[in-house]
Structure 1
Amino acid sequence: MSLRSGVATAVGKTSYWFLHTFMHGGSSLPGKLAARIDPEILKHLGQNYDVIVITGTNGKTLTTALTVRVLREKYDHVLTNPTGSNMEQGIVGTFLHAKRSRGQRPLAVLEVDEANVIKVTRYIKPIAFVFTNIFRDQMDRYGEIYTTYKKIIDGVRLAPEATIIANGDAQLFNSVDLPNPKIYYGFNHLPKGDMKAPTNTDGILCPKCQHVLHYHFMTYGNLGDYFCPNCGFHRPELNYAVTKLGAMTPTASTFDLDGESFKIGIGGLYNIYNALAAYAVGRFLNVEPAQIRQAFTSDERVFGRQEVVHVGDKDVTLILIKNPVGVNQVIDMILTEPEDFSFVGLLNANYADGIDTSWIWDGEFEKLGAAGTGENPKIKAFLTGGERYKDITFRLKVAGIDQPMIEPDLTKVTAKIKELPTKKVYVLATYTAVLQLRKQLASEGLIKEGMGA
């Protein structure tokens, strides 16, 4: 250890101790301070870990959480960043407060922002990368999906020996020739046909000849068993596949994976992809299927990902949204709810959310119908809020919801939730709105503090 890295580590750990002892945590300051003193601090902090990097547009946080649960069935020491603090300073902070391990070489399973992959691999050579998907997201930061993937690939090229564990149903992940060993996961649950993606779907041009891709079947977004009728480009052979879907509710999903039955305590087709990715990592590190099945039965909730919070007599499910594909999947998921419920939409437009809110117009809010009427009589009330409450309120109006309750001040949203007419409430919120709402919930003693980063 150099003198600089030693000082940086000491300063970072001291600031972490102070913040978590006296300020109840929730700051990226320790990582910022350490990286400012020693820009190469990750080289020192990560040198004794086998690192797995999980990146992509949607699903990083839940995939990371499920992967950690799976690996802890076999390994004693698994470090992670559980609150989605996936920028460089957050990753440095994760290593700073890690406990020393003895015996097994420890693992670090890190959720990493797409643009920060290169900031990790510049100093740490992972044993594996996990690619979840690439969808249009925060265009002010990433641009189009092709530039997003390039940011990831620029980082991967610095670690050519790391195994890539990729969603085989996403054509971008099969579009660039890389020397890395590859493992693909995906879906094989439907008979093969010949279809095209719906109008305005992103990422459906063949990367080899620019012809419109066809699909034997689709799951959602641009994902599915794709092929190009012009040049022959097609989905790679899958190493691990979902072969059957079972019961799907907002609180659970059952499915067969390579012929064996599994269940996760969270709803949504998109979350089965996350479980499939975690399964692939587990098998890569020799965790047995029975152990993985056991890990999936945990009912521990993940920050902002279908957390259930009790607010008065309400069961409030908190769900992060940030782009059209994600919100459409969440809408499909909550519409499987068998009981009456209320809908809350909270929209912010800070840097971490993406400052461009135009993406909400590609969300299929029309599926929600009018409160108490139309196609979805189970939705009894709507509430909107957040810094861009006018945008989300107008979007719902265009979708047929004329008069939602409105509360711009997120510190007062919990009081409004208590006034809603149903026991079940679904809150769809952007990232900083989730943080602000959770802070308010913590101040009321409804959740523990220190979960947000």
Structure 2
Amino acid sequence: MSFKSSLATIVGRTTYWLLHDVLKRGGTSLPGKLAAKIDPQALQHMANQYDVIIVTGTNGKTLTTALITRVLREKYDNVITNPSGSNMMQGVIATMLSAKVKDVAEKTLVILEVDEANVAAVTQQLKPKAFVLTNIFRDQLDRYGEIYTTYEKILAGIRLVPEAMVIMNADSPVFMRGDLPNPKLYFGFNHLPATGDERAPLNTDGVLSPTDHTILSYRFRTYANQGFYFSHSDDFKRPVLDYAVTKINQLTPRFSNFDIDGETFQIEIGGLYNIYNALAAYTVGRWLGVEVSQIKHAFEANAQIFGRQEVIRVHDKEVTIVLIKNPVGTNQVLDMMKTDSEPFSLIALLNANYADGIDTSWIWDADFESLKTMGVQTVATGGERYRDLYVRLKMAGYGDHPYYPDLNDIVTAIDQMPTTHVYIAATYTAMLQLREKLAQQGFIAGGY
């Protein structure tokens, strides 16, 4: 290791120690930012100590990464991850710097959530043994461009390691583009008879066949562009699945119960979309030799995921924090709320910082009108771009409603809601800011 890389490691680890152990703050990216400033190749000097699995895609990266980590810890003693969702280069470097490598014969497993645009840069230095691909939807057009551009950014990383396993959501036709020599494992849904012949709704992205660019049909769809697709113009269709959800047993806002290949599982988080994340974790676990019984145990561990359906008690209110960041993800969150049998209130928070995407036009493609069919009693808006969201919800039929530009007022907003259950749907940086305010007021533990 060169003097420059040694200095980068020392500075990064010292900064991490000061932030986490002395100041008791998050600091999920600053240690990595400083280390990279000293040595841009800081990751490369750590690579031979680890077996790295990269998790990437538009939605579900954080939960999928957390579930994979839980599953692998059932079998392996030394597994580290970036639990807060700090998934750009500096966050990845900070995660590696914070790792305590045990003196064991087997390499440490590192499960890294990685931003789509950072996959190639991270791969160049870490040479992963596997990639897990969740889905591709329109998201942060100012950063990624359209969906096929986003996928090309991911492919640029995968092509650097042709021997790495690619574990992909085969229900997403976008992932069938590009000729990759890598070994592959496919996961998806087989919970309905494959007898239908339907098209996805208008304005659904990613429904073009990669062979001739005709519009695909579906035997069944789960949501958005995902499902059992096929082409009427040639023999292109979804590949045979290696692992599949074979039955949906029960969906509630608190848990999801389902079968994978005939075995029943439950995760303590709602939403059909989150079953895909569990299926990805199951696939990784089985690939690395984790027993089915161990995976069940990992899934049923009642540990909340950072900012993803966290349930927090604020005085007499039960508050559920959910992340929203693009139309498809927001619609899935709204569908999850539909499974709530009790009346609830909604506070929606919108920021437009770099990590959120600075273009807020996506809120007009999210189906906020569907809230009218649910048990929502009242809505409120907030965040740095509260005016945009205020107008959007007003146009969705909610008229004039309370708004809170200052997140210091959110606890007051929660107290004023007419229901005991309150959902807070927030974009990424708004969620971070909200958690910090709640931590300062003693409702949750501080840090990340």
Do the two structures share a fold, i.e. TM-score over 0.5? yes
Give the conservation status (yes or no) of the 8 Å contact 2:56–2:114: yes
Deviation at 1:23, TM superposition (A): 2.8
Secondary structure, counterpart of 2:80 in structure 1 = strand
Give the conservation status (yes or no) of the 8 Å contact 1:11–1:34: yes
Partner of 1:7: 7
Structure 2 counterpart of 1:321, one-letter code: I
- 1:40-79 equivalences in 2 (<5 Å): 40-79=41-80
Deviation at 1:422, TM superposition (A): 0.8
Structure 2 counterpart of 1:388, one-letter code: R
C-alpha distance in 2, partners of 1:440/1:138?
A: 26
Deviation at 1:21, TM superposition (A): 3.2
Deviation at 1:77, TM superposition (A): 0.4
Partner of 2:422: 425
Structure 2 counterpart of 1:67, one-letter code: I
Query: Match for 1:318 among 317, 321, 340?
Result: 321
C-alpha distance in 1, partners of 2:22/2:297?
A: 37
C-alpha distance in 2, partners of 1:21/1:161?
A: 39
C-alpha distance in 1, partners of 2:245/2:350?
A: 34
Partner of 2:384: 387
Query: Match for 2:175 among 156, 173, 176?
Result: 173
Partner of 1:94: 95
* TM-score, normalised relative to structure 2: 0.98
C-alpha distance in 1, partners of 2:439/2:293?
A: 37
Secondary structure, counterpart of 1:205 in structure 2 = coil
Give the conservation status (yes or no) of the 8 Å contact 2:356–2:428: yes
Structure 2 counterpart of 1:134, one-letter code: I
Q: Higher mean Cα deviation, 16-25 or 166-175?
A: 16-25
1:13-46 CA-to-partner distances (Å, cap 9, x unmatched) read 1111122233323222210111111111101122
Deviation at 1:180, TM superposition (A): 0.4
1:210-248 CA-to-partner distances (Å, cap 9, x unmatched) read 111111110001001011111221111100000110110
1:89-144 CA-to-partner distances (Å, cap 9, x unmatched) read 11100011111212232100000000111111111111100000000000000000
Structure 2 counterpart of 1:236, one-letter code: P
1:416-450 CA-to-partner distances (Å, cap 9, x unmatched) read 11111111000100011101100100000111111
- 1:192-271 equivalences in 2 (<5 Å): 192=194, 193-271=196-274
Deviation at 1:58, TM superposition (A): 0.1
- 1:77-156 equivalences in 2 (<5 Å): 77-103=78-104, 104-156=106-158
Query: Match for 1:290 among 269, 289, 293?
Result: 293
- 1:398-413 equivalences in 2 (<5 Å): 398-413=395-410
Secondary structure, counterpart of 1:305 in structure 2 = coil
C-alpha distance in 1, partners of 2:145/2:214?
A: 22
Alignment of 1:352 with 2:355, yes or no, is yes
Give the conservation status (yes or no) of the 8 Å contact 2:187–2:283: yes
C-alpha distance in 1, partners of 2:250/2:6?
A: 53
C-alpha distance in 2, partners of 1:126/1:100?
A: 17
Give the conservation status (yes or no) of the 8 Å contact 2:356–2:427: yes
1:180-226 CA-to-partner distances (Å, cap 9, x unmatched) read 00000000011121110000000111111011111111000100101
Structure 2 counterpart of 1:54, one-letter code: V
Partner of 1:372: none
Give the conservation status (yes or no) of the 8 Å contact 1:83–1:303: yes
C-alpha distance in 2, partners of 1:37/1:398?
A: 50
Give the conservation status (yes or no) of the 8 Å contact 2:369–2:397: yes
Structure 2 counterpart of 1:105, one-letter code: K
Secondary structure, counterpart of 1:245 in structure 2 = strand
Give the conservation status (yes or no) of the 8 Å contact 1:46–1:95: no
Partner of 1:38: 39
Query: Match for 1:161 among 154, 160, 163?
Result: 163
Structure 2 counterpart of 1:183, one-letter code: L
Partner of 2:442: 445
C-alpha distance in 2, partners of 1:258/1:19?
A: 45
C-alpha distance in 1, partners of 2:268/2:421?
A: 17
Deviation at 1:249, TM superposition (A): 0.3
Deviation at 1:66, TM superposition (A): 0.3
Give the conservation status (yes or no) of the 8 Å contact 2:47–2:127: no
Give the conservation status (yes or no) of the 8 Å contact 1:8–1:37: yes
Deviation at 1:4, TM superposition (A): 1.5
C-alpha distance in 2, partners of 1:85/1:25?
A: 14
Stretches of structure 2 lacking an aligned partner (at least 5 in a row) = none
Secondary structure, counterpart of 2:43 in structure 1 = helix
C-alpha distance in 1, partners of 2:145/2:23?
A: 37
Give the conservation status (yes or no) of the 8 Å contact 2:101–2:108: no
Structure 1 counterpart of 2:397, one-letter code: G
Query: Match for 2:337 among 334, 341, 366?
Result: 334
* TM-score, normalised relative to structure 1: 0.97
C-alpha distance in 2, partners of 1:20/1:70?
A: 26
C-alpha distance in 2, partners of 1:109/1:360?
A: 31
Stretches of structure 1 lacking an aligned partner (at least 5 in a row) = 370-374
Secondary structure, counterpart of 1:47 in structure 2 = helix
Structure 2 counterpart of 1:68, one-letter code: T
Structure 2 counterpart of 1:99, one-letter code: K
Percent identical pairs in the alignment equals 60
Alignment of 1:279 with 2:282, yes or no, is yes
Secondary structure, counterpart of 1:316 in structure 2 = strand
C-alpha distance in 1, partners of 2:192/2:55?
A: 28
C-alpha distance in 2, partners of 1:13/1:296?
A: 32
